[in-house]
Structure 1
Amino acid sequence: MSERKEQQHPFYEKTLESKAIFAGKVISLQVDTVLLPDGGTATREIVRHPGAVAVAAIVDNKMLVVDQFRKPLGKGQVEVPAGKLDPGEEPESAALRELEEETGYRARSIRHLQSFSTSPGFADEIIHLYFADDLEKGDVRLDEDEFLTCEAITLEEAMAYIQSGRICDAKTLIAVYAWRMHTLTGSF
């Protein structure tokens, strides 16, 4: 959405000052001072992220998922294949790349389902979710600091993983429920 259109929002917060706090490999953090609609000021801590992709990939009526340890949560997670966008990379290309790197499967075609913000209260990350069900097996090519296993699970197993907390991240929850809707109705 354009900056001009956002400025027309009745609760628009104009940035008065922005201070860079941290710049890392994946995220950066800034602290903004903003002018509130009532004339007061407030501080906003903002995490900047390049964006990411995720793929709900179905092969033989099973969803491809990866199991990996997530340090911020301190536990293993079952998730759909996903990863961050490289500078200048188009989301569809990133989705195809991440699917192959993490699962070894190549998608002959891919369909965009939805783009969504992960935590709009403090972060600008957008995840672009894709669906693929026309796949061919290739080779897994993990990043050097990436450790995971890939498996194909049924819809019933996915729902059980949600119940048990093995699946609890937003992108995978959305992917599973989209797959469920597609299975039940034939559409998304």
Structure 2
Amino acid sequence: MSEGLDAIRRALEDDPALHERVTGTDFSWTGRIFTVEQVEVELSDGSRSGRDLVLHHGGAGVVAVRDGRVCLVRQYRVALGRMTLEIPAGKVDPEEPRDVCAARELTEETGLVAERVELLVESYGAPGFTNEHTSVYFAHGLSQGEAALDEGEFLNVLWLPVDDVIEAIRLGLIDDAKTVMGLLAARTFGML
């Protein structure tokens, strides 16, 4: 094991001097996809502070590549007020294994069926306020099946050259976090 990995593991060990202990919840709201809580915490020096938290089951996505082209979905995102290009992905159902979610979303959104998916990377996108955890997989052994979009889900499936997609990430044209991290991880690990 490398010295750097040991240092990283030590840096991730528990440190009571940095703990924040939740002492109460001031407000809680539950929606269809996530829960919002305002909590009070006691800091390690004894002082108190407030935290706004968004609790979410998380999601999973899939990098699918065929003949030097990556499968992306094009859809409008209301929160951004614009179109995005993203890898096929969706939210994990309660108790659903993440790899099963990734394979399910790939098929639902694109009709693609993977013989197997392999974990590429995991991320907490904004750990300062949310526990949303995203897992991105690489699809192996693709075959074409039938798409089955969720009610109210509208998107286009595009197959774009891998090198062009990587350049679009560099230029900020593709900026969805799971897509960026999944494609760059696949490139780094020699899968593209």
Aligned-partner Cα distance in 1 for 2:188–2:58: 26
Match of 1:58 among 65, 72, 81: 65
Residue 116 of structure 2 aligns with which residue? Answer: 109
* Pair 85,20 (structure 1): closer, same or farther in 2 beyond 3 Å: farther
1:132-182 deviations in Å (ceiling 9; x for gaps): 131000011100110000111112220343245431011111112123224
Aligned-partner Cα distance in 2 for 1:74–1:21: 27
Aligned-partner Cα distance in 1 for 2:20–2:13: 9
Aligned-partner Cα distance in 2 for 1:6–1:163: 34
Match of 2:49 among 42, 47, 50: 42
Identity of aligned residues (%): 34
RMSD over aligned CA atoms reads 1.9
* Pair 159,95 (structure 1): closer, same or farther in 2 beyond 3 Å: same
1:46-67 deviations in Å (ceiling 9; x for gaps): 0000110011111122111100
How many pairs align? 181
Amino acid at match of 1:102: E
Aligned-partner Cα distance in 1 for 2:153–2:127: 27
Offset of residue 124 of structure 1: 0.5
TM-score of the superposed pair, with normalisation by structure 2: 0.88
Unaligned 5+ runs, structure 1: none
1:19 has 2:34 as partner: no
Unaligned 5+ runs, structure 2: 1-11
TM-score of the superposed pair, with normalisation by structure 1: 0.89
Checking the alignment, whether the CA contact within 8 Å between 2:121 and 2:182 is kept in structure 1 is no
